[in-house]
Amino acid sequence: MSLKDKEWDFVAVLVRDYLLDTTDPYARLVEYGFPSAFVSTLRLTAVSMENARSLVQASRTSIDGELRLLEALSAIDRLAVLPDGERAAEYRDRLRQDRHAHTTEDTFRTCVFESGSEVFIGRGGLRETLRHFVADPEKTVLVVDGDPGSGRSYTYKLLRHVGHHQGFRPARVTLSRTATAEKVIRRLAGFVAFAGAQAPLNPTELNDLLPSIDEAAHWVVGRATAAEGRLWFVLDECDRLDASSDVWDLIGQLALAIYEHTAVRGDQAPRLVLLGYGPTMRQLPYDLHGSVSHDTAHAAEPADLRDFFDQYFHESPPRLPGGARAGEPVIAAFVDAAVREVLRVAPPRDDAEYMRRVGTAAEGAVRVYQSL
C-alpha cells in the first residue's frame, strides 16, 4: 500500500538525518544508487531539511521513485540497526507490494485500496471512462454528474488510487455557495507550491485583487505545468455554487487554459475534473467539445455490493483449517453475509450520505474479514 503524507514527513526526517547529512549531497545520492540524471534535476541548498523535502517530492512522482528512495534508506547500516530503520524497512516492503500490484493488477478495476482501509464499489462505467481519459492525451476535462448521494464526490477515492499508479496527484477544492474565483485560485496555488513548481511561486502575485479571471487561470495552470509532479485539478460539489458566482467563469477559463497548455506541453499540463457538474449548468467553452469526457454517477445497488464482495473474496479467499482453498459455496456464504450486513446499516437510497455510509459499512466488513 502507498504511504500517507504523515509517513512521508517521517521519511523526510530520515533523509535529512541519515542520507543528506553531508556537505556534498549530490555525490551522496549518486553513491546510494540515484541516477545522475535524476540527481542533477534536484535544487539542493545548504539547508538539509529543504533538501530532504525536495528529494522526497521528486521521488513521489512514480512508484519506482518512491521505492528507490526507501531502498536507499534501508541500505544505510547505521539506520538499519535502529527502530527507525525497522520502520523504514516496513515502508519499503509496503512499496514493494504496491509496485507488484502496479505491474500485475488492473488498477482501474481495484475494489479495495490501502490494504482494506478504503473501498470503491461498482462504477464500472467510470472505471472505463477514466481508463480512456488517462490514455487519451487529447482529453483534458472529466465531468461527473449525478443525483446527490449517488457518489459523485466518492469518485475522488478512485482518482487518488489511479493517480498513484498512473503518476498524477489530484488536488481537490470543495466548492460551496460562498466560493469565489479568488478563493479557488489561492487554494489551487497552494497545491501547486507544494508540488514544487520549477518557477518559484511569488505569493505577492496574489496579494492584489485578481486582474482578470483569465489571467489568474493561466497563472495557476502555467505553474502547475511547470511543477515537478503532474497535477489534476478537482473541483468538487460544483452544484453547490451560487448561480451568480464568478467561479463559473473561472471553471471555463481553467478548462481553456489547460486545453491551450496541453497543446504545447502535452501530458505535463494538468487536467480538470468537475464533480457534480450537471448538464443544465454553465456550458463549457465550445473549443473543448472534443476534449471532455463524461460520466454519470449512480448509487450502488445490492447487485453492485454483491459484485464488490464477490471480487474481493475471490481475490482474498477465506483461510480454511489446514490451508485448504475455499470453494465457491464458502465464498458465496461470505458474500451473502457481507451484503446483508452492509444493507442493514445503509440509509435510504435518497439520503445525501448514502454512498458515504455504504462505503464506510463495506470498509468495516472488510476489516472484520481481515481480522478473522
pLDDT, tens only, 14-53: 999 999 998 899 999 999 999 998 998 888 888 889 999 9
Mean pLDDT, rounded, for 235-261: 95
pLDDT in tens, 137-183: 999 999 999 888 788 888 998 998 899 888 899 999 999 999 999 99
Mean pLDDT, rounded, for 248-270: 94
**Torsion-angle region of 288 (φ positive above 0: left; ψ -120 to 50: alpha; else: beta):** alpha
Query: How many helices and strands in the chain, by DSSP H and E?
Result: 15, 7
Least confident of 6-10, 115-119, 344-348: 115-119
Q: What is the pLDDT of residue 362?
A: 93
Given a contact cutoff of 8 angstroms between Cβ atoms, the answer to whether 117 and 161 are in contact is no
Q: What is the pLDDT of residue 241?
A: 95
Sorting pLDDT into bands at 50, 70 and 90, what band is 196? low
* Helix, coil or strand: residue 154: coil
Q: What is the pLDDT of residue 201?
A: 43
Between these two residues, 205 and 305, which has the higher pLDDT value? 305
pLDDT exceeds cutoff 60 at 203: no
How far is C-alpha 205 from the chain's CA centre?
Answer: 28
Mean pLDDT, rounded, for 275-287: 92
* Helix, coil or strand: residue 144: strand
Given a contact cutoff of 8 angstroms between Cβ atoms, the answer to whether 1 and 98 are in contact is yes
Measured CA to CA, the distance from residue 176 to residue 155 in angstroms comes to 18
Given a contact cutoff of 8 angstroms between Cβ atoms, the answer to whether 214 and 253 are in contact is yes
Between these two residues, 289 and 204, which has the higher pLDDT value? 289
The partner residues of 233 in beta bridges, in order of sequence, read 171, 272
Q: What is the pLDDT of residue 371?
A: 81
Mean pLDDT, rounded, for 198-210: 47
The partner residues of 118 in beta bridges, in order of sequence, read 113
Q: What is the pLDDT of residue 194?
A: 67
Least confident of 103-117, 182-196, 200-214, 290-304: 200-214
Between these two residues, 189 and 105, which has the higher pLDDT value? 189
pLDDT exceeds cutoff 70 at 1: no
Least confident of 103-112, 173-182, 265-274, 295-304: 103-112
pLDDT exceeds cutoff 90 at 204: no
Mean pLDDT of all residues belonging to the chain: 88
Measured CA to CA, the distance from residue 210 to residue 220 in angstroms comes to 12
The partner residues of 143 in beta bridges, in order of sequence, read 274, 294
* pTM of structure: 0.80
